[in-house]
Amino acid sequence: MSSKKNISLLLLDVGGVIYQVDWSKTVKFFNLKITSDEIQKSISKWNIFLEFEKGNISPIHFYQNITKKFSITVDYPTFIIGWNKCLIGPTKGIFELLNNINIKIAALSNTNIIHYNNFSKNAVFKNFSHIITSFNLNCRKPDKEIYIKALHILDIIPEQILFIDDLPENLQIPASLGMFTETCLDSTNSIQNILLKHNIID
């Protein structure tokens, strides 16, 4: 879909787009007998993880299930530290790039309350009008429900949104709703090129 310069909101995924995630840090912290690649490939299939990201179970319940699953013997505060180890920080240069954008910026993320409480404090989000999360909406991308709820929260028509995500499967429904969509993975240069393409920056 070609842009017509009517985009008034930049909607960004968080992990893998503007915030770096490295599961090997969590694997190392807990000394797990599993590789970070294996976790990344399987985590989205764990029902306990999906339910946690949908906000259907409490952090304590999640802690109890994960520590049992992997035979981790740590207390809850230590688990929180280890679970957050995978959150590295903003993609290099993204803070400066987003500061030069003159339209509204918001985030739409599949995430859990433990990770949210950590990354949402970062200064990179200071100019965001909303950080919309799966655990608050009780649904996840790529389910259509989360995009409909996000549009209601943002009070905007889809044709005025540019949505950037690192997973192509998360872009199919937004595109069908009328959003401009682009794929990007941990690259400020790629995001800059996307913004140039859609006439959001000069």
Domains present along the chain, CATH in parentheses: 9-20+89-197 (3.40.50.1000), 21-87 (1.10.150.240)
Residue type, 103: I
Q: List 132's β-bridge partners, or say none.
A: 108
Residue type, 176: S
Place of tokens 């859609």: 198
36-47 residue pLDDT tens: 778 877 777 889
Question: Which ranges of the chain have pLDDT less than 70?
Answer: 1-5
Residue-level pLDDT at 120: 97
What percent of the chain has a predicted confidence (pLDDT) above 90?
Answer: 87
DSSP structural state of residue 124: G
Residue-level pLDDT at 2: 44
pTM: 0.94
CA 84 to chain centre: 14
d(CA 45, CA 110): 14
Q: Which tokens go with 189?
A: 């240069």
Main-chain phi, psi angles of 40, to 5 degrees: -60, -35
Cis status, amide bond into 168, omega within 30 of 0? no
